[in-house]
Structure 1
Amino acid sequence: MNIAEILERRAHAQPNQAAIIDNHRGRSRTTGFGELNEAAARLATRLHRHGLKQGDTVLVLQPMSAELYTVLSALFRLGLVAMFLDPSTGREHMERCCRRHPPRALIASPKAHLLRLLSPALRRIPLAFSTGAWVPGAKRIASAEKLPQAPAVELPDSAPALLTFTSGSTGEPKAAVRSHGFLMAQHRTLEAGLALQSGEVDLSTLPIFVLANLASGVTSLIPNVDLRSPGRINARRLLLDIQRHQPSRSGASPAFFQRLVEHCRATATTLPALKKIYTGGAPVFPDLLERLQQVAPAARVTAVYGSTEAEPIAHVAHEEISPAEITAMVGGRGLLAGTPVPEIELRILPERWGTPLEPFTREAFEAQCLPAGEPGEIVVSGEHVLPGYLQGLGDAETKFEVDGRRWHRTGDSGYLDERGRLWLLGRSSARIQDAKGILYPFAVECAARQLPAVTACALLELNGERLLAVEMKSTLDLAELRYRLTWARLDRVVLLDRIPMDRRHNAKVDYPMLRQRLINVASQGRQAKPA
């Protein structure tokens, strides 16, 4: 199965329908399914004539755009492997990744080609192509316009298609390889879980969702904002795109939607055209779902839980969260993630994160699985769950087998309730176990965020103390916060101007940076509010 065949079928069925709407040279641009497919087929011919062959790896440094998906489809057609790196992780990270798996070619925007001046690893790549204007040492992909169209090669399901790397912030970066069969399984799961319907217009911010849209006949509207920093987007410009193109659905990170919500509330604007909203990639707390529902009153607002290795795992709609469940979250029961998707098996094992698991028989595994209500480590298995990492680096700590079937350890703690729904308690490595007992981060953070003044918060253990860092947007009633969190038995609350977030989604707490910031606060003698 070649994943490029799906786009080809869509191009034949609906050639004139818009596949991608994006911004090009300051103007809105529409690329049809037929046009995108034809451009990809011609580019595939050009790449083949330059000696690229099935199995070769091509590093792609191109923002979300019609060019990106033309390149991806061309690579898939030839059985090439598209390799992605996040430049925001730094030059050393790029050097390490390119050493681990040297690319045969580089396809990049003219701006990204400037990195070749700084990176020896990028300069060592034999072939270079530019997706825009000519740059020294690179060929323009636009010169493929008059070439014949290359057919999609036949591939086994196991043929690699995408190669991405983890940040490597805690060690050597792990390389995740997604095969054509894996991408097809993920597409089927996303199509069902996100209720994708041909003809819809989707405000698209996540690259993998655009692939699912292309396969489902959905038009992807890529907004004219910097999607590399979703928590700092130009919300005014975003709103103009929404009002002009009237998308009926959208999927984005919580930080992206938070910016949009803040702007809509400040300008008394609503989004009546939106009918489906999906948010994930970071913890989605109920206060954001409520605010999204207020600015998009006709939308079904859904929180999606997943990870790089398994997307999606579970989801819950705002309307499915009852007042009693909000009360449970305020009381420390964790964050409701909802019902696991039908395509996945999910179990809860006793907490052993950091210790490799030996193979299980099915009987021994089921005997280990915890019953409803008991917290532990979340593990998953399924066709769209990544079975392993490149060269097995990272498999020992994150994978195990049950009667020969591969399972993935998410690294998250949680439990299943009596209705089979998943509740999240935070990263297993962040669990606090001290003389007072066990305390989970999401249990505290979810409860604290119910106070309107709390913008962000994070629980951690520092110097033997249970410490809650709080970022607020208005005066915080510490007495109310202490009352709500009596059960958590905190030692201190520290008020910060800003809690550091991850670079990718701007929505996950960067705990190592936060810990260092709190150490600096203490060493400088700055005042911290006691809990």
Structure 2
Amino acid sequence: MTADPLRSDQQSIPAALHDSARRGGSLTVLDRAMRPTRLSLGEVGDISTDVAARLRRAGVRPGDRVCVLAPTSVELLLNLFGLWRLGAVPVVLPHERPEASAGPGLLAHRLATAGAEVVLTDHLPRLGAAVPPGCRVLPLDAGLSGPGAPEPPVPDGSALGLLQFTSGTTGSSKAVPVRQGQLVGNVLACMAALGMRPGHTYVSWLPFYHDMGIVSVVGLLVQGVHVVVMPTENFLGRPASWLETVSAHRAEITAAPNSAYQLAVKAQQLRPAALDLSRLRVAINGAEPVTADTVEEAVRVLGGSGMPAGALCPTYGMAETTLVVTAASARTSVRVLDPKEAPRQYGGHELPDRPLVSCGTPLPGTRVTVHGPGGEPLPDGQVGEVRVTGPGVTDGYWTAPGAPLDGLGRLTDGHMDTGDLGFLHEGELYVCGRAKDMIIVGGRNLYPEDYEIVAETVPGVRGGNVIAFSLPDRERMVVVAEGRGGAVSQDRLARELFERLREAAKHAPAEVVLVRPATLPKTSSGKKRRGTCRDRYLAGELDVVATAR
């Protein structure tokens, strides 16, 4: 019997895997050369039991936080399932994008925050002095070979299943404790909302240190979905490889952030491939703000390869809610709200001027409300802080040496004040931006997203590489962008960008700054770090090539 999505604590990952093994499902992992290794769910279950026993013999105990540092591979997946079978707690560390992740400093911070007892890795030299005293380092193959051991007991759904680090877009990254039952239940509820079924095929390139990557793969696999995992590095090196894999495996399901759809659409426009996306039914767009122009381009360009118009599904969620909070229907076209036509019910904040994409309705058992500055509930159409209540909301944040810390001002009494500004309209959620990033000038809101979206339409600006941030003391925005070309063209681009923003935005930015490519601060999963960018701007630490005021 499958778990009730309204009760997140009913099934552990091993129990759900055991149930689904009788119905089918499989795991296919592609290596860097895109060669497949395929395992049935029964094989995954049997091997994970052996891995759990060997890890137990090596000294790993139920409840231990085990940090895993390795690229996407069969070995990584089998170790994760072995840890869940044992009842240990995986903490997947960033392996890709070392330039974006502050190198050893990030590793040391996450190992210390997790209170790691063990590190499993295929790259011992990279750890260096980052490993805290008392933490043991084991090779990635420690649980994949050697003598057998007694089979450990199966954990229940209340067992801690993951320490998931937040993206750290607005501050230091925090560890979120997610229970095994929440990992199973959140995806099961998402399947019910979007019409995903056992026997469907899901393709993912997403990194396993990101919540969308690990939760989606595990949650769908244990429900009998055929899961195909490709290396993250392959997508980063050649974005076209993602949709080629979706086409080759005739997948019904895939998922990625908004920026990945931008890259995939651009790749298809520049070098059209013979894709067959006619079986794709659920193309989830989440993990970062979903923009109207990306939705329009994706539907148009990918529709030319057979993707149904209703397949694109914007979602809203975060690590603190396990994964998904709301999801747009996979049966109808994406709803885009023109602010000129939206009902203007003013609360504490104003609607942005840009078109807003609906993130859909809450998952079964989840409740979304919008609140004013004093915590008062706001009616439909009024912008306020988004609050989430439901089985996916986690217990708190984790703090070394290992006890969950309830609250930190955001997770209280079973609900989460997300820090996001948004509104409800006809039962659907529209997200406007982050409360911390927004400033008010003359009683009107300035959202950094308004500036970023306009900036990315200017020829010469690298798509997905614009960060706007506020200067509260001056009540203005600064826009930092990566551009293309030499020094002369960069000076001209800075002036053109400033003029375009002055015409299109509510208030002209204080300054436009162009920096060298690949130097904008981002998280390990590629999200923009506005606060860090502002700090570097104020300290004169940006790699500036041109400015305009």
Please give the secondary structure, in 2, of the residue aligned with 1:397. coil
CA–CA distance in 1 between the matches of 2:441 and 2:63? 51
State which drifts further: 383-392 or 438-447. Answer: 438-447
- 1:356: which partner in 2? none
Q: In structure 1, what residue type is equivalent to 2:237?
A: I
Letter in 2 for 1:489: H
How far does residue 521 in structure 1 lie from its aligned partner after superposition? 9.0
1:429 aligns with 2:436: yes
Contact 1:334 1:446 in 2 (8 A): no
| Correspondent of 1:119 among 120, 130, 146 | 130
Is the aligned partner of 1:461 residue 2:470? yes
CA contact (8 A) 1:189 1:312 kept: no
After superposition, what is the alpha-carbon deviation per residue over 1:358-416, rounded to whole angstroms, capped at 9, x for unaligned? xxxxxxx7xx1112222221111100111312235471321233xxxx21111111122
- The aligned amino acid for 1:305 is Y
| Contact map agreement 1:53 1:80 (CA 8 A) in 2 | yes
* Alpha-carbon distance in structure 1 between the residues aligned to 2:543 and 2:86: 57
> Residue 338 of structure 2 contacts residue 354 of structure 2 at CA under 8 Å; is this kept in 1?
no
- The alignment-based identity, stated in percent, is 23
> Which of 120, 141, 144 lines up with 2:143 in the alignment?
141
Aligned to 2:159: 159
Amino acid at match of 1:188: L
How far is 1:322 from its partner? 4.8
Deviation at 1:239, TM superposition (A): 5.2
SS of residue matched to 2:233? coil
Q: Structure 2: state its 5+ residue gaps.
A: 1-10, 207-212, 343-350, 485-492
For residue 20 of structure 2, give the secondary structure of its aligned residue in structure 1. helix
Secondary structure of 1:305 counterpart: strand
Residue 184 (structure 1) aligns with: 184
| Corresponding position of 1:216 | 223
When normalised by structure 1's length, the TM-score is: 0.81
* Residue number among 285, 292, 299 corresponding to 2:298 in the alignment: 292
For residue 400 of structure 1, what is the aligned residue in structure 2? Answer: 412
Given candidates 61, 70, 74, the residue that maps to 1:62 is: 70
Q: SS of the residue aligned with 1:143?
A: coil
Does the 8 Å contact 2:66/2:117 carry over to 1?
yes
Instruction: Return the offset for 1:214.
Output: 0.8
Letter in 2 for 1:164: Q
Partner SS, residue 304 of structure 1: strand
Output the CA distance in 2 between the equivalents of 1:450 and 1:149: 60
Which of the numbers 10, 13, 21 marks the counterpart of 2:23? 13
Distance 1:100 1:484 in 2: 43
Q: What's 1:266 paired with?
A: 270
Matched, 1:308 2:319: yes
Matched residue SS, 1:216: coil
SS at match of 1:48: helix
Measure the CA separation in 2 of the matches of 1:24 and 1:148.
33
The structural deviation recorded for 1:201 is 1.9
The one-letter amino acid of 1:246's match is R
Check 1:477–1:171 CA distance in 2 against 1; reply closer, same or farther (3 A cut): closer
SS across alignment from 2:317:
strand
TM-score (structure 2 length as normaliser) = 0.78
Q: 1:212 is paired with a residue of what secondary structure? A: helix
Contact 1:255–1:507, Cα closer than 8 Å, also in 2: no
Structure 1 unpaired stretches of 5+: 132-139, 353-364
RMSD after superposition: 3.5
Q: How does 1:418-497 map to 2 (within 5 A)?
A: 419-435=426-442, 437-446=444-453, 455-456=463-464, 457-462=466-471, 464-467=474-477, 469=479, 471=481, 481-485=501-505, 488-492=506-510, 494=512, 496=514
- Rounded to whole Å, the distance in 2 between the matches of 1:49 and 1:214 is 27
Deviations 1:223-282 (A, max 9, x none): 24417xx6x432354455345433332111222222221111111236332332111111
Q: 1:275 aligns with which of 271, 281, 294?
A: 281
Q: Match for 1:86 among 94, 99, 105?
A: 94
The answer as to 2:7 corresponding to 1:3 is: no
Pairing partner for 2:333 from 319, 342, 345: 319
Q: Which residue matches 1:504?
A: 524
Change (3 A) 1:343 1:66: farther
